[in-house]
Amino acid sequence: MARVSYKVVITGVVQGVSFRASMREAALSHGVKGWVRNRDDGAVEALVHGEEEQVEMLLKWARVGPPGARVTSLRRQQLKDHPPQVGFRVLVQDWRRLPANR
């Protein structure tokens, strides 16, 4: 079976609802590798890599997300010649980039 890689952007109510942690669990259960992170614009972004059928199952899950999420769109861009990923990580925003409390 073919292996595929996608950059995915998911919009809607997707932050503050455990989307990243739930996506990591779903990815691991489907054998999909990559990472997921919150974006400053309120979206969630992910890189997913694996067997095409498994990746499609994960993306089907991501169109709904965990309880509390309201996904309004999922856009994906296929990546060519992307190196394989190891595991599935939740990337956390660098605390040094956060605005100081005032």
49 within a domain of the structure (yes/no): yes
Q: Return the pLDDT at 102.
A: 46
Measured CA to CA, the distance from residue 41 to residue 14 in angstroms comes to 11
77: confidence class by pLDDT, cuts 50, 70, 90: very high
CATH no. for residue 62?
A: 3.30.70.100
| Annotated catalytic residue within 20, 39, 76, 101 | 20
The domain total for the chain is 1
User: 71: which strand partners?
Assistant: 12
pLDDT tens per residue, range 32-58? 999 999 999 999 999 999 999 999 999
Catalytic residue check, 20: yes
Provide the 8-state DSSP code for 67. T
Token look-up 């999420």 returns 69
DSSP helix, strand, coil percent of the chain (3-state; round to 5): 25, 35, 40
99 within a domain of the structure (yes/no): no
Most distant CA pair in the chain, distance: 54
89 within a domain of the structure (yes/no): no
| Annotated catalytic residue within 3, 24, 37, 38 | 38
* Residue-averaged pLDDT of the chain: 91
Show the domain range for 8.
3-83
Quote the tokens at residue 70: 């309201």
